[in-house]
Chains A and B, each alone.
Chain A
Amino acid sequence: MADRRRINGPPGATMAPVFEDDAGQPEIKNGKGRDRAPNVIRKTFLKTGVTPSASGSAYLEFEGSSKSGVSGLKLSCTVHGPRSLPRSSPFSPHIVLSAHVKYAPFATKQRRGYLRDPSERDLGTHLETALRGAIIADRWPKSGVDIIISIIEGDQDRETSKSQGDETWDMMNVLSGCITVASAALADAGIDCVDTVAGGVAALVQDAGEDSTPRIVVDPIPSDHEKVLGACCVAYLPTRDEVTNLWFKGDLPASDAGLYTQLVENGIQASRNANRVLVECLGEATS
């Protein structure tokens, strides 16, 4: 008869797992960094219709970096509406768009609160600008639509503490993801748009090493590079060849106008690539 008064350990011998130190880490950090070509965006997973209770929804995931400890961006977006505005609100001849972007408290290295902080509100404003250009707003007078995006996981390097200043550049990546996923969710909700809008990021980066010159890459992961000198996020409508939102940040000399133009062009290219994923995903959903 076994001893039933105590909780005994398992009968067989067990071994606690021992993990080897990731000795290759520093070399990867200094040596390789980015393992994609400069004009290739990360692999993207996009799926619509993930939240049944919302009128439209989408989920987006970017592939993580080759380094361990860097997980990809994960976004979920729900669209509620179009629905009638509350009685108290004034007449609007257009659909009233409101975008909420919120990091989950555990999404980033530093914990986020439950209330939206200024950077999240700022992202919401950017997103609104990007989408307002795409939606055909006058087909729904007196109605509103809410777009709610939660960032389940941000793409940050969790291994090092030395990612100071990366957060500002991460916001660009997050915004481009938000634009793409919101566009998919709007299409899923059946809200008329002039085109599918997708976001793309291009950055001027400086790699580690003595003799590296600044170069332009699309869809950068800030922790892959020594320093980001400037970045721009573009929301782009491919069939109309129009930009609905442009956000540039950095430090470029005015004399070198070509650099700015190149950055924007690369951003548009990144956005075209993201748009292909978007179109394919929407095609799958309808077929």
Chain B
Amino acid sequence: MASSQHVLLSPAELSYLHSSLSLTPPLRPDGRSPTQYRPLSAETGILPGTNGSARICFADGTEAIVGVKAEVEKTKRRWDDDTIFSENNHHQQQQQQQQQQQEGEEENEGRNNNDEEGGSSDWVELTVEIPGYRDDDSGTVFLGQMLSEALLADGGFVKRLRINRRFHWKLFLDILLISPPLSYPLPLLSLTTHLALLATRLPKLKSEGDEDPFFDDDWAAAPYLYARDPATKRVAERPPVTLLVMAVGGNIIFDPSKEELAVADVVLAVSVGDDAQGKGEDRMDVDGSNPGRNLKLLSIRTVDPPSRLTPPGVANAANSAYGHAQVVNTGANQKMPEARQTESEAVEGVWKPPRGGAKAVVMGALVQKVLVRGGVADEVLDALEGVDTS
């Protein structure tokens, strides 16, 4: 589904909306503050047949469910892999990893060394289904690619799916929007996916080394895909979230509704992750005083603002019904009446769809606003932490 679905608003309504959103502070149609998300209700573990699932319902009536299924799959070998495998070697590596986990600071170094053991991006398959739109609709594909891009950006996620050198988990993320798309569903789908991944558990591995995998059949013993800290029951590292943010007349607005998108100057989808590095220091003062997260920027995409497709208004000065003399032009103007009309100066209160792009500075400001410590991304992650995912 495209962000550019038709909004049935007249030019006069669009102009009114644009000017009220350009005020300081902006007046949003639903009375939210510029950084406020729509209220939502969330629950996890709703689908017993999946490895992890979540459902989120926004206050405006849009609702999404996500189911995560995992399958064991054989890892494809490339010809230049050293196919000789020694048990000894592997044990050493395991020991190394354990050591690294104990000394949190060395973790980063260990990652670089283990790069060869990273996964491949086709271990994750993500599909988005939106009622009323085809699976191969460009908008639906765009949404799916955006969500999977955020997930795969740092390569850390696929490493979680590794079982041993011969096998890995293949993860299927199925994202379903249940309600009709009343607004651009990106924030909703991203938050739901986040929760579903947090709730995902994979069966406990019993086999060792490079044997064919053999799992514990006790589901209660299954570990989470995103491991919990045994002491605090908090999730150490969290999946990414994608935030939708738009700029209109100098104001920055988060989680815009469909009507607000219709007058946007520029719309960005920014994916942020929770950086695990430096977590060691945070661990020290876990007791309530939240120093803010170490966020990292994973991806940015420009979403085509639907405002470009809105109908333009006609100023009274150019409207013959208001006494505008029709034949006053000569030459080129006469040949192209449309051109004459649209080239006219911007008039206060007459809607003109935005033309051209946005200044790089404006885009930079949008991104900065997302990433700022203690900003909206932090708030969203904190709020999601409140959801019971066990």
Contacts and interface: CB of A to CB of B under 8 A. Distances in A.
Interface of A: 90, 92-94, 116, 118-119, 121-122, 124-126, 128-129, 132-134, 136-139, 141, 161-162, 164-165, 168, 194-195, 232, 234-237, 240-255, 257, 260-261, 264-265, 268
A240 B356 contact: yes
19 contacts: A94-B353, A116-B136, A125-B138, A133-B308, A133-B357, A138-B342, A139-B338, A141-B338, A161-B79, A165-B121, A234-B360, A240-B357, A248-B297, A249-B149, A249-B153, A252-B296, A254-B295, A260-B297, A264-B363
Given A253-B275, A254-B371, A247 B301 contact: yes
Nearest to B275: A253
Contact of B141 (A90, A118, A249, A261): A118
A137 B308 contact: yes
A129 B338 contact: no
Contacts of A93: 311-312
Contacts of A254: 272, 275, 294-297, 371, 373
Contact of B299 (A237, A243, A250, A265): A250
A248 B309 contact: no
Task: Choose among A138, A162, A255 the residue with the greatest number of B CB atoms under 10 Å from its CB.
Answer: A138
A270 to B, nearest CB: 13
A32 B323 CA distance: 72
Contacts of A119: 145
A189 to B, nearest CB: 17
B145 A118 contact: yes
B387 to A, nearest CB: 23
A122 B141 contact: yes
Interface in B357-377: 357-360, 363-364, 367-368, 371, 373
B178 interface: no
A242 B357 contact: yes
A244 B154 contact: no
A122 B139 CA distance: 8
B142 interface: yes
Interface of B: 6, 78-80, 120-121, 136, 138-139, 141-142, 144-145, 149, 152-155, 268, 272-273, 275, 277, 294-304, 308-309, 311-312, 336, 338-339, 342, 353, 355-360, 363-364, 367-368, 371, 373
B211 to A, nearest CB: 25
A125 B145 CA distance: 11
Given A129-B303, A255-B294, 15 more contacts: A118-B145, A122-B145, A128-B304, A129-B302, A138-B312, A139-B338, A237-B356, A240-B356, A243-B358, A243-B359, A245-B302, A247-B300, A249-B153, A254-B272, A265-B360
B361 to A, nearest CB: 9
Contacts of B149: 249
A243 B296 CA distance: 23
A240 B296 CA distance: 31
Task: Choose among B144, B299, B312 the residue with the greatest number of A CB atoms under 10 Å from its CB.
Answer: B299
Contacts of A264: 360, 363-364
Contacts of B363: 243, 246, 264
B309 A94 contact: yes
B139 A125 contact: yes
B300 A248 contact: yes
A139 B336 contact: yes
B359 A161 contact: no
Contacts of A165: 120-121, 155
A123 B272 CA distance: 22
B353 A253 contact: no
B29 to A, nearest CB: 23
A257 B368 contact: yes
B121 A168 contact: yes
Contacts of B136: 116, 121
Contacts of A136: 342, 355
B153 A250 contact: yes
Nearest to A140: B338
A125 B136 CA distance: 12
A123 to B, nearest CB: 10
Nearest 9 CB-CB pairings of A with B: A244-B357, A242-B357, A248-B300, A254-B295, A254-B371, A251-B154, A129-B304, A121-B141, A133-B357
B353 A246 contact: no
Contact of B353 (A138, A234, A250): A138
Contact of A246 (B268, B296, B297, B304): B268
Nearest to B298: A251
Nearest to A244: B357
Contacts of A162: 78, 80
Nearest to A240: B356
A162 B303 CA distance: 33
A237 B342 CA distance: 20
Contacts of A194: 355-356
A180 to B, nearest CB: 15
B358 A242 contact: yes
